[in-house]
Chain A
Amino acid sequence: MGSITHKIARTWRHATSSGAEARRAFPETTLRAIAQAIDAGERTHRGEVRLIVEKALPFEDAWYDVTNRQRALALFADHGIWDTEDNCGVLIYVNMAEHKIDIVADRGIDRKIDAATWQAVCRTMTAGFKNGHFHDATLAAVAQVNDLLHQHFPAGGERANELPDQPIML
Chain B
Amino acid sequence: MTPFLRFFSTLLLALATLFAGVAPAHAQLKEVPELKARVTDQVGMLDAAQRDRLEAVLADYEAKTGSQIAVLLVKSTEPEAIEAYSIRVTDAWKLGRKGVDDGVLLVVAPGNPSALRRLRIEAGRGVQGVLTDAKSKRILQDIIAPHFREQHFYEGLVAGVGAIATVLNQEAFPAPARTAEQEREYVSGKYLFFFLLFLMSVLMGTGVVWGIGLTRRRYKASGNSPGEFIVGAIIGGILSGGGRSSRGGSSSSRSSSSSSGGSSFSGGGGSFDGGGASGDW
Q: How far is the CB of B269 from chain A (nearest CB, A)?
A: 10
Dominant SS among interface residues on chain B: mixed
Are the C-beta atoms of B273 and A123 separated by less than 8 Å?
no
Which residues of the other chain, A, contact B179 by a CB distance below 8 angstroms? none
Q: How far is the CB of B243 from chain A (nearest CB, A)?
A: 10
Q: How far is the CB of B180 from chain A (nearest CB, A)?
A: 16
Instruction: Name A90's closest neighbour in chain B (CB-CB).
Output: B276
Set A7, A17, A63, A118: member contacting B275, Cβ < 8 A:
A118
Stretch at the interface among A34-42, A45-53, A95-103, A160-168: A95-103
Are the C-beta atoms of B275 and A122 separated by less than 8 Å?
no
Q: How far is the CB of A154 from chain B (nearest CB, A)?
A: 19
B92 an interface residue at 8 Å Cβ cutoff?
no
A68 an interface residue at 8 Å Cβ cutoff?
yes
**A-side interface residues, number (CB < 8 Å):** 48
Are the C-beta atoms of B281 and A125 separated by less than 8 Å?
yes
Are the C-beta atoms of B274 and A106 separated by less than 8 Å?
yes
B219 an interface residue at 8 Å Cβ cutoff?
no
- Whole-angstrom distance between the alpha carbons of A104 and B277 in the complex? 7
Which residues of the other chain, B, contact A126 by a CB distance below 8 angstroms? 261-262, 279-281
Q: A69-B266, A122-B262, A126-B261 are in contact. Are A4 and B185 (CB under 8 A)?
A: yes
- Whole-angstrom distance between the alpha carbons of A11 and B87 in the complex? 50
Which residues of the other chain, A, contact B188 by a CB distance below 8 angstroms? 4
Which residues of the other chain, A, contact B272 by a CB distance below 8 angstroms? 77, 82, 106-107
Are the C-beta atoms of B277 and A7 separated by less than 8 Å?
no
Which residues of the other chain, B, contact A11 by a CB distance below 8 angstroms? 193
Task: Give the size category of B's interface with A.
Answer: 20 to 34
A169 an interface residue at 8 Å Cβ cutoff?
no
B265 an interface residue at 8 Å Cβ cutoff?
yes
Within 8 A of A (CB), among B220-264: 246, 249-250, 253-254, 257-258, 261-262, 264
- Whole-angstrom distance between the alpha carbons of A62 and B22 in the complex? 71
Dominant SS among interface residues on chain A: helix
B199 an interface residue at 8 Å Cβ cutoff?
no
Are the C-beta atoms of A3 and B278 separated by less than 8 Å?
no
- Whole-angstrom distance between the alpha carbons of A102 and B274 in the complex? 13
Are the C-beta atoms of A103 and B274 separated by less than 8 Å?
no
Which residues of the other chain, B, contact A99 by a CB distance below 8 angstroms? 253-254, 257, 280-281
A151 an interface residue at 8 Å Cβ cutoff?
no
Mark A residues whose CB is within 8 Å of B: 3-4, 7-8, 11, 13, 16-17, 63, 67-69, 72-73, 76-77, 82, 87, 90-91, 97-111, 113-115, 118-119, 121-123, 125-127, 129-130
Other contacts beyond A91-B276, A98-B280, A100-B281: 11, CB < 8 A: A3-B185, A4-B189, A13-B253, A69-B266, A69-B278, A73-B273, A101-B279, A110-B276, A119-B277, A122-B278, A126-B281
Mark B residues whose CB is within 8 Å of A: 185, 188-189, 192-193, 196, 246, 249-250, 253-254, 257-258, 261-262, 264-268, 270, 272-281
A/B interface sample: 17 pairs, CB < 8 A? A17-B250, A67-B266, A69-B266, A73-B273, A76-B273, A101-B280, A104-B276, A106-B274, A110-B274, A110-B276, A115-B265, A115-B277, A125-B279, A126-B262, A126-B280, A130-B258, A130-B261
